[in-house]
Amino acid sequence: MSQSDSGDQDLNEGLWADFCDHLKRIGDQVMRPEAPRDARTRAEGLRYLTHVLRSSLDIFVDHADPEFPVLYRPCDEIVKYGGDNPDSYYQKAVLSGDKRYRIKGRRGTIPYLSFLTQGTTFSEDKTMVSTGFLDGSSLQIDPDGSFEIIVSVEKSPGNWLPMKPETQALLIRQNFEDRSREQAAELEIECLDAPETPRPLDPVLFEQGLRSSARFVESTVELFCDWAEKWQTHPNQLPKDDQEECQRVGGDPNIIYYNSYWELAGDEALVVELERIPECESWNFEVCNYWYQSLDYRYQRVHVNKSTAKYEDDGSVRIVVAHEDPGHPNWLTTEGHPCGAMLFRWIGAKEHLDPTTRVVKRTDLE
């Protein structure tokens, strides 16, 4: 029986060509006039497009069934965008506000855990607006470390993560202090209103998902390229960012963000200082490339946090960003990049002390 005989709508014959043409136009973002023109940064920009595309296909094509949600990793050690945190283990799932879900888990030893439901995606209007939040510190946990969370629009007793009718996704953050010693929470999710088995691939939904995937790549890349252009107006400084804007693009409400741009000559170093550390769950600072991707934290020292930092005797912290190691215990490498983005976070802090910055000659630190 032909597809038309079965009553199914034909797949748009131009779908693949449209998809490829859309991706081709997005490549212009890497060539924006304010972006660095060296070959390495341009190559990283093109690789960045492939990273966002891989993540978008997970969201809108491969894991797009809200009746059979999958906890996948939108960012990991390879796929990076949006100022991904080297201390974070991110997980995401597609949801629907007209369904009910249950998350089962075992807490582990990871210090920070949070759950955020979202009502929009970057494919629509460059936002990921929150529709509900649950702080892991408020979880009711059994003596063996296990717990359950109901995710629904209507309030549920026990651990409840709110949704709204427009909810589309779940984002989970697990933040390490020391990956070598801490165990992440073990989590799984199920839809309580699902049929016994998934439905066959729907050509119409597939077409919608593929087009949404391309729009997600376009909006994500354009958004963070716009941010990079904005940050160049205050190089080598760390002003507090617009927190409402950070929340609109999926930021954690327990985190205060400082985003900016760094640029250093070969003999220069950027010194980031905190005169004291107020009471907080954690803090961290990371060095990114121009495209707002974390550098390779698997093999290089490109970030520092509350537990890994070396403190001064008076409780202050001094972090040094430089191309070569000046012998400072809190040195972070640039991996040879001439410029890039940088990001400081206060996590669950009672007070948000602004870091200060200054550029010095690297030899002055040796």
- Quick check: helix, strand or coil at residue 79? coil
pLDDT tens-place values along the chain, 366 residues long: 333 343 455 677 899 999 999 999 999 999 999 999 999 999 999 999 999 999 999 999 999 999 999 999 999 999 999 999 999 999 999 999 999 999 999 999 999 999 999 997 776 777 778 999 999 999 999 999 999 999 999 999 999 999 999 999 999 999 999 998 999 999 999 999 999 999 999 999 999 999 999 999 999 999 999 999 999 999 999 999 999 999 888 899 999 999 999 999 999 999 999 999 999 999 999 999 999 999 999 999 999 999 999 999 999 999 999 999 999 999 999 999 999 999 999 999 999 999 999 999 988 886
The whole-model pTM stands at 0.92
| Structural tokens at position 126 | 């460059």
User: Of the candidates 336, 262, 254, which has an alpha carbon nearest to the alpha carbon of residue 295?
Assistant: 336
Q: In the beta sheet, which residues pair with residue 319?
A: 272
Return d(Cα 298, Cα 300) in angstroms, integer: 6
Pick the CATH number of 224-365 from 3.40.1080.20, 3.90.1150.10, 2.60.120.600, 3.30.465.10: 2.60.120.600
**How many Å apart are CA 101 and CA 95, to the nearest integer?**
8
SS3 at position 226 = helix
Query: In whole angstroms, what is the distance from residue 6 CA to residue 231 CA?
Result: 55
Residue ranges, CATH 2.60.120.600, the chain: 224-365
Q: What is the CATH number of domain 29-222?
A: 2.60.120
How many whole angstroms separate alpha carbon 117 and alpha carbon 167? 7
Q: How far apart are CA 307 and CA 321, in angstroms?
A: 18
